Amino acid sequence: MTPSNLKKLRSNINRRKTINSLFAFVGMMVITVATIILLGLTLKMAFQGAERITPEFFTSFPSRRASRAGILSAWVGTLLVMLVTAFAAIPLGVASGIYLEEYAKKNWLADLIEINVTNLAGVPSIIYGLLALGLFVYELRLGQSILSAGLTLALLILPVVIVTTRESIRAIPNSLREAAYALGASKWQTIWDHILPYSFSSILTGVIIGLSRAIGETAPIITIGALTFIAFLPQSPIQGEFPFVSFEWLQAPFTVMPIQMFNWVSRPQAAFEVNAAAAGTVLICMTLGINAIAIFIRFQLRKGIKW
């Protein structure tokens, strides 16, 4: 290489390093500013609603009097809806991702499905609400129930779980599959015993993102007919008599935390805004709690894997 070419190469390398450093600096500044703003808004909301976060706030039903209003029906409804969402979206999403990545033939139909699944992840949530209203409420006659709400939010996060599952499985090196095949393992044994254990911690990342989005959604829940004021709880899933488990709660009317907050901020009294701030703080804590559980499970799974 001539000295002139060597000088141009060094200049090009230095220019790229400068661009990379500048991009990293700008990215860090954007993340820092966004984090500070989010933290500031969260702390402001928490301080505004701190006076209402009492045991009675969690054990009281909504009321027309702000001082007596609580979030009992809202947080119970949120947990039940998220339970249905998780049980519907996670198995179906993971199974779909496994099929599309490991079993589906690589042809134009698979490419079409992949494009549609990827595009569905960016569809506005209100569209899922309209779909669920026509399918679950009217066609399947599930009514305006916890089951309809859970299935609606499951449809909402399903593309995220599918895409994350496919990317996680795709990241596993082929040498692991070839080693399993060389020892006589079948395709399913290879997936179940080797591919999934190594990729499931990454799949949980998509599950965390999906559930975090679902717990704060309002538009699709309102579309299928969630109540803004509810002063009773659904029947308990656990019964004292045989068969000890009841599924009648799936057909019960419901409300969720975002709708309860929307109801309060729509009222003219300032005291209800304090209630909404308190409910928002509780909702953030619930989201962080669900994420913490999923992150703990992911950490335990990674600890048990030998690389």
Residue 207 above 70 pLDDT? yes
What's the average model confidence in pLDDT over 65-90?
88
- Which tokens in the block code for residue 182? 């060389």
pLDDT at position 1: 59
pLDDT, greater one: 300 or 288: 288
Report the candidate in 289, 200, 293, 218 with the shortest Cα–Cα distance to residue 259: 218
Q: Report domain extents, the chain.
A: 3-50, 53-303
What confidence score (pLDDT) does residue 304 get? Answer: 59
Pick the closest to residue 260 from 71, 46, 109 (CA basis).
Answer: 71
Which pLDDT belongs to residue 306?
A: 55
pLDDT, tens digit (0-9, with 9 covering 90-100), for 134-180? 888 888 888 888 888 889 999 888 888 998 888 888 888 888 888 88
Answer whether residue 307 shows pLDDT above 60: no
Residue 124's pLDDT band, with cuts at 50, 70 and 90, is confident
Tokens standing for 152? 């609606």
pLDDT surpassing 70 at residue 12 = yes
Q: What is the pLDDT of residue 37?
A: 92
- So what's the pLDDT on residue 33? 93
User: Average pLDDT in the 80-103 region?
Assistant: 89
> Under CATH, what is the fold of the domain 53-303?
MetI-like fold (1.10.3720)
Q: Is 216 exposed, middle or buried (0-12, 13-18, 19+ CB in 10 A)?
A: middle
Residue 41: pLDDT above 70? yes
Can you give the pLDDT at residue 66?
Answer: 81
**Confidence at residue 65, expressed as pLDDT on a 0 to 100 scale:** 84
Average of per-residue pLDDT values in the chain: 84
Q: How far apart are CA 286 and CA 108, in angstroms?
A: 42
% of residues, the chain, pLDDT over 90: 6
Where does residue 43 fall: left (phi above 0), alpha (psi -120 to 50 degrees), or beta otherwise? alpha
Place 305 in a pLDDT band, splitting at 50, 70 and 90.
low
Residue 32: band (very low, low, confident or very high) from pLDDT cuts 50, 70, 90: very high
Cβ–Cβ under 8 Å, residues 102 and 169: yes
